[in-house]
Amino acid sequence: MSPGLVITGMGLISPLGRDVKEHWENLIAGKSGAGFITRFDASGLPVRIAAQAPDIDMASTLPRSVYKSSAPFMQYAFLAAMEAIESSGLKSRDVKDMGICMGSALSGAPELAQSGEEFARSKSGRISPHLVPRVLGNMGAAHLAIELGIRGPALTLSTACSAGGDAVMTACMLILAGETDGVVAMGGESILSPPIISSLAYAKALSRNNDNPAEASRPFDAARDGFVIGEGGGAIVIETEERAKKRNAPIFAAISGWGNVIDGYHITAPEPSGKGAAACMRKALTKAGLDPSDIDYVNAHGTATQLGDAAETRAIKEVFGEATPAISSTKGATGHLMGAGGLVELVTCAKAIETGLIPPTINLTRADPQCDLDYTPLAARARVVRRAMSNSLGFGGQNSSVILSRYQSGSKYV
């Protein structure tokens, strides 16, 4: 019998807040984290809006060694991981043998783009020696390990926008393989860079509702015209139930199952019928030993693209049929956090289980015939949530699903 896997710590930074509490309160209140880009002059770009993370004085917040050689995506992941570890009650002696799984889609691509421009303008041909450490995706995990003295296995996932969910899946597999009995799963993303924004805009992936940023991200709405870039970080501490109970750790939820499937269809577009996403959800249900009717809430990927939302709707219908659970996309509020999204949204699922509240899909005001399910539009709802599924789908046809359950001592989770 496989050991139970439980979440004992949670942390995040999102466009809605600096920690789990602030994020959840603003999410349930139906607030939007989107606004005009303030990090640089975006006036010449086709898209001038984003859901930026809160302004934080990183120089005074982070350890000096982390601050001087880390990119924003690492910083957000680091701070989220530190909140998760603190909330778990882990002491320094407890983390030494733990593992780390990091997820990020584009890692340090903005830093690389900026440095390329600086290099082109440079007369000396010199560039900062910190460039490579600021670009490498695994450095988020490395900074956490160095700061806390972690010596367990460490892996970094770069599976586009499913990277956060895949980091959780990988963490669980490491534990079940006996490599460790605890893992910090973390993700970070910050892609606010003129070349990246321009590329995504001309690929018709981004909303161009520049005049009304708070209403630009419209998952499942008939007037949706693309996603809004979000940034931030998320993290959870995953342990065996035995380890967690031994140290009297808080247990927020149990991890019941997961799935990973690739469409094998197109580099950016989802398979139109949603069969890859459907297969992924079924795989997670099979791993958990659950029927579709056992799921009370689905946190949909729901990025507000025309093709993506329609394909995910078809996938949910195929899997759940008449037993369709409560659904919402929180990207209407947070924008698309890409590699960090899976972890931030998994924390959201845990909070839904804890509080009995389904977060809303904000900005959903006009029904689309292709998206004809109940996505909890505009306002949160009270509902008993025993089990929740989080979907994360990405470019290349990447699909990830993770199922959480309300914790009950002695139950079989996986």
Catalytic positions: 161, 301, 336
Distances (CA, A) of 371 to 87, 233, 271, 278, 375: 38, 29, 16, 16, 9
**DSSP secondary structure of 104-115:** -SSTTHHHHHHH
Tokens of 89: 């009650």
CA distance 267 to 309: 17
In total, the chain counts a number of residues equal to 414
Element (H, E) at 130: none
CA distance 296 to 309: 20
- For tokens 């989220």, the residue is 80
**DSSP secondary structure of 186-201:** EEEE----HHHHHHHH
Region of 321 on the Ramachandran plot (φ > 0 left; ψ -120 to 50 alpha; else beta): left
Contact 2, 414 (CB under 8 A): yes
DSSP letter for 293, please: G
DSSP letter for 326, please: E
Element (H, E) at 33: none
DSSP letter for 367, please: B
H-state helical runs in 193-301:
194-202, 241-246, 275-288
